[in-house]
Amino acid sequence: MRTRAPGVLLSIALIGSVAIALPPGSAPPDEVVSLVKIATGDDLLVTPASGGIVIGGERHLFETVGFDTVETDDDGETPALIGVFANESGFVVLPVDDKKVRLLGVVMLILDGDELIDQHASVYEIERLPDARGMQDGVGLGAAGVLLGEGDREISYALAIDIGAGTSTFRIEGDTAYLNGDLGSITYRQVRHLIENHPEVVRIVFERVPGSVNDEVNVLTGRLVRNAGYATELLPQSVISSGGVDLFLAGEERVVADGARIGVHSWGDPGGDTEPADLPRDHPAHAHHVSYFSEIMPNGVEFYFYTLRAAAFEDIHWMAPGEISHWGLATD
């Protein structure tokens, strides 16, 4: 995946680790399912399907989702799904075994300075809609229970996280659509909606697009953008990286304003042992990227291999103006 981590440093010790598994076929509550439900009509453009939490009757959607590891009370580590709220107002930690759909530790919520935990959450697998390839890729899990806070405060909640969906939104102003968020299967659906229902849109402006959660779907989205003939543009305050760069380059005409930041790195899994840059150029792992970049840029294949060398998956290289010019990222 060409994506960045959620941006939350997790050094929190999760105490009282438990392992709760529900009977096979246990259906998640409607509140959980509603958090990852795909919107219809123009609501699709502004409603991320990556999840959120309903707590105390209030709904908070995630701005970023991803995997991370968290510390346990015995100085070990456990995998967790992380959801970060808009404006970095807080986050949710859901330590789970996604294969067995069971809780591996304490559900923790940090929101507006409050810290609440649930040691006995019920965890549910969410039936996810197929992505652009007709596959159910990624992870969709939910949880529900009672969070405990200071002074024995108790509050019911339901949360859901869908890793494969992405968090992208589009805002239409005249002939321009403004794009923000992580790219995923929801982005593919959003671009198709633009093409089919908004013929007035001719340009996509990338504002803050940190990456993609599914490279193969991102390639399909890029082909939609190129075949539709959209121009793509970066404003002076725009920041794009990783899979966001891959999609920006799909623009038939591309504008990069002075001050825009463009970050590149290698794809990969943080836990993987092989660096993509060390694989032979004809290795099958490069195939879908090589095919895509050869379609969208005259020097696209060389640019793709440059990104692999520029920075490892866990790092990022912010391109200098000279590099942006050298590789022809702008067409004007």
- For 49-106, what is each residue's pLDDT tens digit? 788 999 988 888 888 887 777 777 677 788 888 888 877 689 999 888 767 678 888 8
The confidence band for 237, taking pLDDT boundaries of 50, 70 and 90, is very high
Task: Give the pLDDT of residue 298.
Answer: 96
Q: Evaluate if residue 8 carries a pLDDT over 60.
A: no
What's phi and psi for 212, nearest 5 deg?
Answer: -125, 155
pTM of the model: 0.80
> CATH 3.90.226.10 occupies which residues in the chain?
169-326
Residue range 169-326, CATH number: 3.90.226.10
